[in-house]
Amino acid sequence: MMLYNLLILSIIMFLFSFVFILYSLYMYMELFYLILEWDILYFMSMKFSYMLFLDFYSMMFLSIIMLISSMVMLYSLEYMNFDKTIMRFNYLLILFIISMCLMILSPSILSIMLGWDGLGLISYCLVIYYHSMVSLNSGMLTIMCNRLGDIGLLMGICLCSIYGSWNLMLYWFDFSLISLMLILSALTKSAQMPFSSWLPAAMTAPTPVSSLVHSSTLVTAGVYLLIRFNNFINYMNLNIYLLYLFILTMFMSGIMANFEFDLKKIIALSTLSQLSFMMMVLMINMNELAFFHLIIHALFKSLMFLCAGDFIHFMNGDQDIRNYKGMIYMYPLKSLIMMFSLFSLMGFPYLSGFYSKDLIIEIMMNYKLSNLFIYMFFFSMLLTISYSVRLIMFLMMNNFNFMSYMNYNSSVIMIICMFILFNYMIFYGYNFFNLMFNKFYFFMMMLDKLLVLEFYMLGIYLGLYFYLNKLIMYNMMFFISNMFFLNNFFKIIYLDMFKFIYKYEFVIEKGWMEWMMGLYFKKMINLLYYIKFYNKIELNYLILLYFLMILFLFFMIM
């Protein structure tokens, strides 16, 4: 009965996505927006209210979330069919979608925090869903990195109290600390350096969750936060430093993806690369273009994960791409959909990814940036093409490696979900481009266009080279696979932090503090009365001396 209700819910969400698309187009054409405010509590000069801000950005992104979520829920009905705790999975999935909707619809930092914290908590529950040691460690890494972003939002809430309102759209953030806190929150949630290590680790979640998380919900929350408040945030002349931080993240993820053999981790690293791509566009104040690429990326990345989940289902859970090969002979339709989604990631002409990536490349080349940044930018784009070609070669070419793994059980529901997203991916980019950017297209010189084409051809050659030379740069594999030692860095930090918590609990709270202030407090007061009776000393001075001694011991230990 519950599965039937989930089927009805997914169909309703799909219909709502279509309605939200039409309503967002109406808002864009009529320059119309709607603000709804619910006053909850007045406390002195502060007003606690829940706000909803409905405009083109929020409604369009909400429609994409509803579309992808409905397809993922339908897909998971078959993919998680034999799971004994499928009801827990579905409840967590619904709560995850609700948290993301709460986050994107509100301009108030209080209600943003409600959805933001819900995303972090439920993502932890989904990452540890299988309860293995690997998933538990990955969940701990995910929740600890995301809590840093939550601290940034909590500090932003405290700092916004200075202005008397938590509505982030009421004023320009001249107060640089609020801008810094929002940027910190966006960096952690979107896994930019040095907080990148949690995103590949979160691949221990079920594949339908990965499709939802890496396309339109958790990792895009930070990008959406900066898109929404990009006109209100003062970057404090940090744009150029953040640009180099993002291009370094994109370069690192591209290098790692070319040496990775885990199918889901390769797609996760491509997500990290595209998030850095969007962040770079935001740093040059092109928030409409960043939103355009965010929408297109959500469509082809969700489709890519659904195809990868079907391949993993076919291989009985094996994710090593060295064991695949020849999938185009087994699953011709799904392999074709996977190849088209990878072509869209590469920016193949006249697919959806082409319209956003080509425009971003033109703007970057016309923007006043250093030669070092342009070289790193083009090399990172080359690496994107390289690992996409390498993945196609590993999945599709040659004969199948291990026939004993084969689980040839195709599901009609999974095919329907992928086919619907495939149609959206094919036609969405061109129509969205004509709607928003047809009048603002930048034309490059012919030599610059040929330079882009040469880099594309070089990326294809590099991908074939990585495919044929599997042990290249073997001595650097430890450095590359550990995300340039970021994984080891966070392990050391967590170890020191847990040691500090252990010492604080057993040395202070259960040690001298318990002896001085806990169960023995009454005995100490009785002792002070005894001293007063015999030495004629005022009790107030003795109590003051007692607390001064406690403070002295506390600062000595800290």
Question: How does pLDDT run across 47-62, given as a tens digit for each residue?
Answer: 777 888 888 888 888 8
d(CA 456, CA 381): 8
H-only helix segments in 42-108: 56-79, 86-105
The answer to the question of residue 503 being in a domain is: no
Q: Is 185 in contact with 149 (CB distance < 8 Å)?
A: yes
The answer to the question of residue 487 being in a domain is: no
* pTM for the whole structure: 0.81
- Count the Cβ atoms, other than its own, within 10 Å of residue 463: 24
231 with 260, same domain: the answer is: no
306 with 207, same domain: the answer is: no
The mean pLDDT value for 134-156 works out to 81
How many domains does the structure of the chain reveal?
Answer: 3
Task: Indicate the average pLDDT of the chain.
Answer: 77
191 with 248, same domain: the answer is: no
| Beta-bridge mates of residue 37 | 51
d(CA 249, CA 127): 23
Residue found under tokens 């291990």: 402
The mean pLDDT value for 241-268 works out to 85
The pLDDT value recorded for residue 402 is: 59
Give the end of a domain, one of 444, 470, 496.
470
Tokens linked to 309:
């989940």
Give the end of a domain, one of 202, 217, 235.
235
Residue of higher predicted confidence among 481 and 395? 395
Region of poorest pLDDT, from 105-119, 150-164, 261-275, 485-499:
485-499
Angle between helical axes of 220-228 and 176-189 (0-180°, round to 10): 150
The pLDDT value recorded for residue 541 is: 59
Query: Helix and strand tally (H, E) in the chain?
Result: 23, 2
186 with 294, same domain: the answer is: no
312 with 276, same domain: the answer is: yes
Residue 69 structural domain:
1-235
Residue of higher predicted confidence among 511 and 309? 309
d(CA 272, CA 268): 6
Burial pattern 215-243, b for ≥16 Cβ within 10 A else e, equals: bbbbbbbbbbbbbbbbebbebeeeeeebb
The answer to the question of residue 484 being in a domain is: no
Rounded to 10 degrees, what is the CA torsion of 340, 341, 347, 351?
60
Question: How does pLDDT run across 433-490, given as a tens digit for each residue?
Answer: 777 776 555 566 666 677 777 777 777 777 777 767 655 555 566 666 666 666 666 6
208 with 295, same domain: the answer is: no
* Residue 1 banded pLDDT, cuts 50, 70, 90: low
14 with 116, same domain: the answer is: yes
- The DSSP secondary structure of 379-391, one letter per residue, reads HHHHHHHHHHHHH
The answer to the question of residue 18 being in a domain is: yes
Residue of higher predicted confidence among 265 and 46? 265
The mean pLDDT value for 530-540 works out to 51
Residue of higher predicted confidence among 213 and 516? 213
217 with 246, same domain: the answer is: no
